[in-house]
């Protein structure tokens, strides 16, 4: 892989979770750019511990250790950069527009094709790190999706009508992510926010969020400087959602 960011590649045919692997290695001091790839995960997960299930060799299953030079409260920008980079890589690979459902699901034709999981922590020396996990449905047959998900999720091969190279897609992602990551580290993210807003499927829609145990219904208006979603409530008040699960009223 032709990447200045990647310092080491660890490939596993089978693992529990690439993000668990990344967190364990990062806590022990693994350098930035350590990339973990897997053919299959026995305990893959997305946000809120939801399981990510894919047959062997059908999906991009990867985690990247990052040690960004930004405050912890800005770590949400990594989600934005990864989401935009995945969307751009997918669009280039299959020639179709990809959009982002806040905070970090990537959709094509309103169906989920990829998800991002960002987890942060401190290593044994007290230095912060981020484990950036990415799952992309690449060559998953339509019949592999549970019946209740077939209208909500799909794979790139189903959309493109052809078999796709997982590793080529990883290269595309890294080429998209590296410049955006450099900009974040240099303290510049206005262009990233503009890109995210342009690719957002969520902005302008009525959304329902559960944040810290309470429900929010309102109009999604904007993405803030920390990656939060600005929502206008029915009574005219505004709420900023920094984390939470968003579901959209179609």
Dump the DSSP string for 201-219. SSTTSEEEEEETTEEEEEE
Fold annotation for 8-199: BirA Bifunctional Protein; domain 2 (3.30.930)
**Residue ranges, CATH 2.30.30.100, the chain:** 206-248
CATH number of 206-248: 2.30.30.100
For the packed helices 76-94 and 166-185, what is the interaxial angle rounded to 10 degrees?
140
Contact 226, 74 (CB under 8 A): yes
3-state secondary structure of 115: strand
3-state secondary structure of 8: strand
Say how far residue 95 (Cα) sits from the centre of its chain: 20
- pTM across the whole model: 0.93
Predicted pLDDT at 45: 62
Per DSSP bridges, beta strands 105-108 and 214-223 are: unpaired
Buried b / exposed e along 139-176 (16+ C-beta atoms within 10 A): bbeeeebeeeeeeebbbbbbbbeeebebeebbebbbbb
| Angstrom distances, CA of residue 137 to CA of 23, 105, 122 | 23, 12, 30
Contact 57, 155 (CB under 8 A): no
**Residue ranges, CATH 3.30.930.10, the chain:** 8-199
Q: What would the pLDDT profile of 19-75 be if each residue is shown by its tens digit?
A: 999 999 999 999 999 999 999 999 766 554 456 667 899 999 999 999 999 998 889
Q: What would the pLDDT profile of 191-219 be if each residue is shown by its tens digit?
A: 999 999 999 999 999 999 887 777 889 99
Q: What would the pLDDT profile of 72-106 be if each residue is shown by its tens digit?
A: 888 989 999 999 999 999 999 999 999 999 988 99
Predicted pLDDT at 171: 98
Q: What would the pLDDT profile of 132-186 be if each residue is shown by its tens digit?
A: 999 999 999 999 988 888 899 999 999 999 999 999 999 999 999 999 999 999 9
Predicted pLDDT at 48: 45
Buried b / exposed e along 227-249 (16+ C-beta atoms within 10 A): bbbbbeeeeeeeeebeebebeee
Per DSSP bridges, beta strands 8-15 and 34-41 are: parallel
């Amino acid at each position: 892989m032709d990447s200045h960011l990647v310092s080491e590649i660890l490939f596993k045919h089978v693992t529990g979770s690439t993000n668990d692997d990344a967190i364990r290695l990062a806590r022990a001091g693994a350098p930035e750019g350590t990339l973990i790839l897997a053919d299959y995960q026995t305990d893959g997960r997305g946000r809120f511990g939801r399981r990510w299930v894919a047959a062997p060799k059908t999906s991009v299953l990867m985690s990247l250790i990052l040690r960004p030079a930004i405050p912890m409260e800005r770590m949400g920008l990594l989600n934005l950069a990864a989401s935009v980079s995945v969307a751009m890589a997918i669009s280039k690979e299959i020639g179709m527009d990809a959009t982002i459902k806040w905070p970090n699901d990537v959709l094509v034709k309103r169906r989920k094709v990829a998800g991002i999981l960002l987890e942060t922590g401190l290593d044994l020396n007290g230095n912060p790190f981020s484990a950036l996990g990415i799952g992309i449905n690449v060559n998953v047959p339509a019949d592999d999706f549970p019946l209740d998900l077939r209208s909500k999720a799909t794979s790139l091969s189903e959309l493109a009508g052809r078999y796709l190279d997982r590793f080529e897609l990883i290269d595309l992602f890294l080429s998209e992510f590296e410049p955006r990551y450099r900009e974040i580290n240099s303290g510049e993210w206005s262009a990233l926010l503009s890109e995210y807003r342009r690719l957002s499927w969520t902005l302008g829609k009525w959304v329902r969020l559960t944040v810290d145990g309470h429900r929010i219904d309102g109009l999604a208006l904007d993405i803030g400087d920390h990656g939060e979603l600005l929502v206008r409530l029915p009574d005219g008040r505004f709420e900023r959602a920094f984390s939470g699960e968003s579901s959209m009223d179609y």
